[in-house]
Structure 1
Amino acid sequence: MAAAWPASAAAAETAVPDPAALALFESARELVEKGDWAAGCAKFEASLMVYAAPSTMLNLAKCYEHEGKLAKAWSAYKRSLVLNQETPGAERKSALETIAKEGITQIEPKLPRVKLTVVNPPPGLYITRNGQEVPAAMLGSVIPVDPGPQTIAVQAPGFRAIRTSFTAAEGRTEQLSIKLEPERSDGASQGGGRIPVWAWVAAGGGVALGVAAAGFRIDQARVEGKQEALCEGDLENGCPPLSQYNPAEDNARKKRDFALFVGLGAGGVVALGAAVTGFVLGQKSPSRGASAGPVVVPWIGPNIAGAAIGSRFQ
């Protein structure tokens, strides 16, 4: 650290000609020599704001290096070389340049770096690293960063925002490739679409119609059982005399039950089929020309039930 400081008050006055900046510089040097890096480095920063001297910038580079902020230290060494171009006196100019280049040489192998790319970057792209904006021009370039936790946030109008974190390690280059996904419409959500209301209504109606159809089929079976018992299995010749039992009323009831069973059952099948289709299409809308996948449609017959499998193409 001391090598970056002027060796005497006269040399300091040459390096930092502004009185206020000089006072801050000397106070900073005294604090750091006593081990109070935090207070000393803060005064070096204040001195630099008053007057940008290469010697002050070199001391700040040492401060950042002491704090483990390698990227900031590397940048400060680089900037000191620029400021040093206006340093009067060839000997002093050469001495400061040597200090800066030695600092850069020591830090560069330890610098963590990150290379960030965005696949097909959309208009309005906004990127931050640890809350600080990253210019789009930096995409694809290897950028030095300080060691430790890093958080990259990427967003653009009409796309889902992405946030990713990693830990920058000394001497390691982290390569991140990010692809933004378009935001889904209100009718869809991540991982599947929204099931339309009509599908739920159709499902409820289909179930109700199926239950009603089953009720009429049960009543039909009850009448058939009654006739089977009375007529001993022979509806033509085995029934009791008409004065005791007239099968006409029960026959009409059986026909009505069967007609309602078939009608309501068919309606239930159509409603349930529509509901299943709505559920499938609501969960995932296929691209045009592609199959929507298998659709399971329940059906009810006079004595059995089952399901049919079909496909829908757009």
Structure 2
Amino acid sequence: MLSSPLAARANDPAAADALFQAAKKLMGEKQFSEACPKFDASYKLDPTLGTLLNLADCYEKLGRTATAWSTWGEAMEKAQRDGDKRAEFARSRRDSLFPKLPKVVINVQNEVPGVDILWDQVKLAPAVFGVELPADPAEHDLLVLRDDGAKLKEERVRITQEGARTEITLDIEALDKANPRKVKPIEAPPPPPPSASKQRLAGFVIGGFGAAALITAGALEAVALAKRADAGASSACVNKFCTPDGLASIDSARTFAEAGQWIGLGGIVAAAVGVTLLLTAPPAAPSPRPATGAVVPRPMWLSPWAGPNGGGLVVGGAL
């Protein structure tokens, strides 16, 4: 992949010098807010002591007292490592800022596991609680964050005066109790599907009722036909004229026929439901092979029966 010859890269003295000269020009025009980022970018490309000293001076003129104090200290340490005489200059500039430093003290009481304190989006270590921390005169973000994402406290802390001391006290346990964790409801497991044996039993029973109803309907139709035949064979009805006994026989035949039709219709529906249950029942788990000499139960069986006085259905076997 080709890169542009103007693209900045680490250890690029030429690009670093261009940024440095642009920053110096902005400093002369007192445009400190634009000059500081250029000094910082120049130092990252070519970390020279001169650039770092100018960056610290820029932060100080911009009013970022704590950042300038820290940068002067970094420049002092770099000069000491390099054996540069400017180490004393950096030390004197750093020490002159110390009385002007605004300081923040964050006191933490009743700590709770899983709760963090962030200052300007940076997590604070417990070791800094109760310690004076240098802070730039500006607005700062304080956040108390729990491990479930709940923001127990969120506050903008404004620091304006040089040398001011701001103290913040946080009772973590009280904040945690004021924002109880949301308990996720436990969902009940879905009911288990009906077992194959129960569904088959229901199919046999309902189908048996249907078959019995069909047999009963057939028997009623047979009785109705017999009564009509009796009325026509005797002298009760001649040329569509019937005696009271003949009319009673015909009415009785009609009643038996209608009852047979309704019972037969119900039998068809019940038989269809029973067959559907039997066909859709899940396959039964294979039974263990019986031991030698063990009594094996007979499977379910269904047998209709009919007689001169009625009919029915016999269901037998074992599940």
TM-score, normalising length: structure 2:
0.46
TM-score, normalising length: structure 1:
0.47
Q: Which has the larger radius of gyration?
A: 2
